[in-house]
A and B are shown apart, each in its own frame.
Chain A
Amino acid sequence: MLNTGKSESNLIESELGKLYAIWLREFKVFLREKSRLIASTFTPLLWLFVVGAGFGSTAGNLDTINFAGGNSSGISGIDYQKFIFPGIVGMSVIFSSVFFGSYVIWDRKFDFLKSVMVAPISRTTIFVGKAFGGMTNSLLQAAILLVIGLLIGVNYNTISILSIIAIILLLSFGLTSLGLILGSFIESLEGFQLIVSFVVFPLYFLSGALFPLKNLPFWLSILTTLDPATYGVDALRSAMLGITGKYPFGTDIAILFLSVISIGVVGIFSFRRMKAI
């Protein structure tokens, strides 16, 4: 053994090294799987330009719909495409983060996970390293969309960019954790796809990505309140379009933070009890 008699600080340093290694591996694989990147960017663009432009042209003629909720902010005239843009960014984060969990299943099938678990590394570190990897992936994919946002007239400044990044990281930590939790006990990719479609689509559709949260039927507004992604999308909308969403920005962040941390804790627990083989 090379490492015997280590001091406390060295232990922390080496655990951070392990965290870095796990993260770096996820990041490198992400960069090399170009098809994954292209495919996951394509779908949000379809939503933005086909649904956004198509539905927007109809909605634009209906003067009664005020997407910006202009009565409070005083800003009206935000078209549908611009309105759903934060939602589409949110969608990209939701999908890429939760689907990231499926790589746990790949890792297990190809024994890579076993090789990591037989190393002297804590399950918590594996979980956090993977979660950071998923967050990085989601952020990079969202970044592509943010650039495209400039084309449809979304403007950023330093503060809005920083808050957008922070929101995306928070949201993706929670949803990557959710994906990892699912990946920790689902054994087949088919099973993962199935369960994920029961999770991802409700998360997306209930988040208010595609419609304003005001004036919803009671049952629907309850469901949207229960969706943690709602607060992420709402916060993104505030940060990107400079309007007040359904909730004040601070409330969004606080609720998002709490729900994300709770999912993360469950995630660590689920990795600890995950079988190595």
Chain B
Amino acid sequence: MISVKNLVKKYANITALDNLNVDINDNEIFGLVGPNGAGKTTLIHILATLIKPTSGTAVVNGYDITRSPSKVRSSIGIVFQAPSSDDMLTGYENLKLHSFLYSVPSNIREERISEVLDLVGLTDRKEHQVKKYSGGMRRRLEIARGLLHKPDVIFLDEPTLGLDPRSREIMWKYIERLVREEKISIILTTHYMDEADFLCDRIGIIDKGRIIALDTPSELKANLGSEIIKLVPTINDGKNSESITLLNGKNYYGIVEELLGKFDFVKNVEMDDHENETLVIYVKNARQNLPTILRELDNNGIKISSVDFKSPTLNDVFLKYAGRDITTIEDHAEGGFVERYAQYGKK
């Protein structure tokens, strides 16, 4: 379906894509996950032939992106990060415009437009101008537009960026429905880990222009050790708080690692990056083994002041492979003309 080979994209002073290789299969939802600036959008723009790679190439639906860009374009649908429909036209008119641009045959044009409007639930709003649509409706219209010509693959670039939680859920529902009913591949980029987890069959974690991990969400998480226990220990040696300060150092971490290392179910013990006093313990079956761990520490004079345990999320996966947290990312304002104009001024 899509085969990316040694793709490099360099701008004047940054390398957006650094020798990237990835193969994407038929009929899967493939997630490109990573922080802003990781190269997700650049990759999608190159695959959609909007920009040219510095070196390397990719084959999309059997067509080489550098040699037959026009054929690649006919065979793909793309939904950009920011809605790109014409505000002044109605939803229907936007779709009709693009049905011409993609040469949808005239005898099936209307039928196709109705189908995609129905698929994204915009049939009753089709005669309204797009400027009267909500952010979520705009996104859905974009998806409808991307599907008009029955592409073999559709790219969704941050499909829920800036949407409120309810609109996100609705969007997820439509994306799932899309795969079920249209039987096409979806390549989506997101920096929302829950979104990737929920929607994607496979995930490529991308950071600094490279794919640093690639697998199913469950495998990626399983590779971490199945669950994570976080605890904040203190030592009860009957003395004052000075000894506690001492424990925040490496020695203390070493003690715990030694104590817990003998258990089979403990995969790894780490210090938390952000909170120095917190230990992160990767274990199998935390629910059952937590009491054993606490008992063991207690028997050796280490008291636990707080405990937390959770199943790993893709955030933890990213943390492990990229060595840092996915930084909180400011969502772009979405909405009408005025907001977009205000943004335009800032660019």
Contacts and interface: CB of A to CB of B under 8 A. Distances in A.
B88 A29 contact: yes
A119 B75 contact: no
A17 B49 CA distance: 22
Contact of B85 (A14, A29, A115, A276): A115
A109 interface: yes
A24 B93 CA distance: 10
Q: Does more than half of chain A's interface fall in helix, strand or loop, or is it mixed?
A: helix
B86 interface: yes
Nearest to B79: A115
Residue among A6, A18, A118 with most chain B CB within 10 A:
A118
Given A1-B150, A2-B149, A115-B84, A17 B103 contact: yes
B75 A114 contact: no
A121 to B, nearest CB: 5
Interface string B70-97: 1101110010101111111100010011
B45 interface: yes
Nearest to A106: B344
A1 B61 CA distance: 10
A110 interface: yes
Given A24-B97, A29-B89, A120-B73, A1 B344 contact: no
Contact of A110 (B101, B102, B340): B340
Contact of B101 (A29, A111, A120): A120
B333 interface: no
Interface in B77-128: 78, 80, 82-89, 93, 96-98, 100-106, 108, 112
B103 A14 contact: yes
Contacts of A33: 88
A120 B74 contact: yes
A5 B214 CA distance: 36
Nearest to B83: A111
A117 interface: yes
A217 to B, nearest CB: 44
Contacts of B103: 2-3, 6, 14, 17-18, 120
A277 B88 contact: no
Interface in A1-37: 1-3, 6, 14, 17-18, 20-22, 24-25, 28-29, 32-33
Contacts of B145: 115
Nearest to A189: B344
A20 B100 contact: yes
B197 interface: no
Given A20-B100, A115-B84, A25 B73 contact: no
B87 A3 contact: no
Interface of B: 45, 48-51, 70-71, 73-75, 78, 80, 82-89, 93, 96-98, 100-106, 108, 112, 129, 145, 149-152, 340, 344
Interface of A: 1-3, 6, 14, 17-18, 20-22, 24-25, 28-29, 32-33, 109-112, 114-121, 275-277
Given A2-B112, A120-B73, A277-B51, 11 more contacts: A6-B103, A21-B96, A22-B97, A24-B97, A29-B88, A109-B340, A112-B85, A115-B85, A120-B102, A275-B51, A276-B51
10 contacts: A17-B100, A20-B100, A24-B97, A25-B86, A32-B129, A110-B84, A118-B49, A119-B101, A120-B70, A276-B50
Q: Which 5 A-B pairs have the closest CB atoms?
A: A21-B100, A111-B84, A115-B84, A119-B101, A14-B103
